[in-house]
């Protein structure tokens, strides 16, 4: 989930965004439509993945990042809403309540955001990086972040949370951005000596 919604004009939707540790996959990349696999072993390789994902998330800048967004099909996400970095393995929402409308963006759909209605409170369970069970309630922004990142683990992008008319406009905007950026890149390449 994105913290800011700035598009510097050099990113081509459907391609990769260069980052420090990993590239964030953007809308149009088929990996974002695949369901992530359960993690059966928490080892040093997974700990390194979490560290790299956190670095990528902070660099983006974002407040949450799911493993599929960096091309890794594992049920894992990282986040930091100002309380320090955290990671959860095999997360699952077991209960939700209320309703909260909020402007939501995504690192995989840079520069765009929409008002999306989601449950206000969620109870999430999973495992920490030591393999211990995690279970806690989250409210408002953190609850939204968990739902957003879990969507990524299911192969769902936030545009699928939009009503039909808003989704059509969003997809047209994304297509126009892709075409405009592709044309701009091609024009710049033609100017090279």
Q: What is the pLDDT of residue 191?
A: 59
Q: What is the mean pLDDT of the chain?
A: 87
Has 92 been annotated as catalytic? Answer: no
Per residue in 53-105, pLDDT (tens digit) is 999 999 999 999 999 999 999 999 999 999 999 999 999 999 999 999 999 99
Q: What would the pLDDT profile of 139-175 be if each residue is shown by its tens digit?
A: 999 999 999 999 999 999 999 999 999 999 999 988 8
Residues 6+ positions from 153 with CB-CB distance below 8 Å: 35, 36, 66, 67, 68, 75, 76, 77, 91
Query: 191 versus 158: which is more confidently predicted?
Result: 158
List the domain boundaries for the chain.
Answer: 16-191
Confidence at 176, pLDDT banded by 50, 70, 90? confident
> How sure is the predictor about 43, in pLDDT bands with cuts at 50, 70 and 90?
very high
Question: H/E element holding 52?
Answer: helix 44-59
Report yes or no on whether pTM surpasses 0.75.
yes
HEC-encoded secondary structure of 103-153: EEEECCEEEEEEEEEECCEEEEEEECCCCCEEEEEEEHHHHHHHHHHHHHH
Looking at the predicted structure, is the pLDDT value of residue 12 above 80? no
Query: Among the options 137, 149, 160, 164, which is catalytic?
Result: 149
Domain boundaries 16-191, corresponding CATH code: 3.90.45.10
User: Which pLDDT does position 68 carry in this prediction?
Assistant: 98
């Amino acid at each position: 989930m994105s913290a800011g919604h700035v598009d510097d004009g050099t990113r081509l939707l459907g391609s990769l965004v260069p980052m420090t540790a990993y590239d964030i996959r953007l809308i149009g990349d088929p990996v974002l439509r695949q369901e992530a696999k359960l993690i059966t072993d928490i080892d040093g390789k997974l700990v390194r993945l979490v560290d790299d994902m956190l670095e990528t998330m902070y660099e983006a800048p974002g407040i949450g990042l799911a493993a599929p967004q960096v091309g890794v099909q594992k049920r894992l996400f990282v986040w930091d809403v100002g309380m320090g970095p955290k990671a959860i393995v095999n997360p699952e929402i077991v209960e939700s309540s209320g309703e909260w409308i909020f402007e939501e963006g995504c690192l995989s759909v840079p520069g765009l955001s929409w008002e999306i209605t989601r449950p206000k409170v969620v109870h999430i369970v999973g495992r920490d990086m030591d393999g211990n069970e995690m279970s806690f309630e989250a409210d408002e922004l953190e609850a939204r972040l968990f739902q957003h990142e879990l969507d990524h683990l299911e192969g769902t992008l936030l545009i699928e949370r939009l009503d039909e008319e808003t989704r059509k406009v969003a997809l047209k905007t994304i297509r126009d951005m892709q075409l405009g950026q592709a044309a701009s890149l091609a024009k710049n390449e033609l100017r090279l000596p």
